[in-house]
Amino acid sequence: MPPIAAPIAILSALAEEQAGLLQHMQGARDVVLAGRTVWCGSLWGQPVVLALSRIGKVAAATTATALIAHLGVGKVVFTGVAGGVGDGVQVGDVVVGTSYLQHDMDASPLFPRYEIPLYGRAVFAGDDGMCGALQAACNAALVRHRDRAPAVHRGLIASGDRFVNGATEVAALVGRLKAAGHTPLAVEMEGAAVAQVCADYGVPFAAVRTISDRADDTAHMDFSTFVQDVASVYAQRIVENLLKTLSK
Ligand code: ADE
């Protein structure tokens, strides 16, 4: 008998993104881990675990740790929304994270700004193969939004425990990161924490983020409407394409 493949964890930030996937899940059974309801089953031929990360770095790290340590997931994929901060990264575009950094990590002067103490680095890489598969899944999933064909970008995602919601704030944040040699495409609140947990356990990780806002003064308004109308649809299509590819 072939060995049973370790399940892929699909972590979603928002219940709207998980709902469509859960409807398609076969043999779904729920398990409670660390106070979180997690769904185990299969999707498009792949053993899968669906979980909500909750919001913020600690909640997301706890979720990822529980899935790896208790359910033995072999890969982690994160789907969510983000604020676009890179040049040309527009609302409706998608960013595949090839690297992750915590923009609110600052243990200077003991360690260089952004470096995770005792890891000797600020940036964690996304898994190459998963990033490539996610990019292909995105290319096949996106539809025109407000008369524009969305673009798929690949690059650095910056995470922090803050909803970035101001033009001055975002300019300062990006300016500081660039001065330290980091050019982020998007900001969100979980990815780099999950990347760090996955690196600790040696589990391949990649995240895909649909851009809901530009992290400026109207970010909170753009965010809510976008999540309802676009992000949940994209998340489902991207994950479906990804899992179908992995089944081939
Ligand atoms: N997620 C979506 N938009 C965001 C923003 N502007 N800041 C942080 N996280 C986000």
Pocket test for ligand 1, best of 17, 53, 78, 212 (most atoms within 8 A of CB): 212
Alpha helical stretches, state H, the chain:
15-24, 57-71, 128-139, 167-179, 191-201, 219-226, 232-247
Q: Is residue 1 part of a domain?
A: no
Structural domain span for residue 122: 8-247
What is the per-residue pLDDT for 1?
60
**Mean pLDDT taken over the chain:** 93
What is the per-residue pLDDT for 140?
87
Q: Which of 153, 177, 178, 173 is nearest to 215 (CA)?
A: 173
Q: Which pairing describes strands 94-102 and 205-213: parallel, antiparallel, or unpaired?
A: antiparallel
Q: Is residue 2 part of a domain?
A: no
Show the ligand 1 pocket: residues with CB < 6 angstroms.
81-83, 163-165, 187-189, 212-213, 215, 219, 223
pLDDT-based confidence at residue 220 (cuts at 50, 70, 90): confident
Cα(217)–Cα(74) distance, integer angstroms: 39
Cα(203)–Cα(209) distance, integer angstroms: 20
pLDDT-based confidence at residue 246 (cuts at 50, 70, 90): confident
Query: Ligand 1 centre and the CA of 91: distance in Å?
Result: 12
DSSP letter for each residue of 63-112: HHHHHHHHH--SEEEEEEEEEE-STT--TT-EEEEEEEEETT---TTTS-
- The region of weakest confidence among 14-18, 29-33, 41-45, 183-187 is 14-18
CATH number of the domain residue 159 falls in? 3.40.50.1580
Q: Do 156 and 183 form a contact (C-beta atoms < 8 A)?
A: yes
Domain count, the chain: 1
Whether residue 149 has pLDDT greater than 90: no
Tokens of 181: 């040699």
Q: What is the pLDDT of residues 102-145, one digit of tens each?
A: 999 999 999 999 999 999 999 999 999 999 999 999 998 887 76
Q: Is residue 222 part of a domain?
A: yes
Cα(26)–Cα(24) distance, integer angstroms: 6
Q: Is residue 36 part of a domain?
A: yes
Q: To the nearest whole percent, how much of the chain has pLDDT over 70? A: 96
Q: Is residue 3 part of a domain?
A: no
Query: Ligand 1 centre and the CA of 35: distance in Å?
Result: 25
Tokens of 52: 């909500």
Whether residue 228 has pLDDT greater than 80: no
Which residues does the annotation mark as catalytic? Answer: 17, 213
pLDDT-based confidence at residue 36 (cuts at 50, 70, 90): very high
Q: Which of 99, 91, 96, 89 is nearest to 135 (CA)?
A: 96
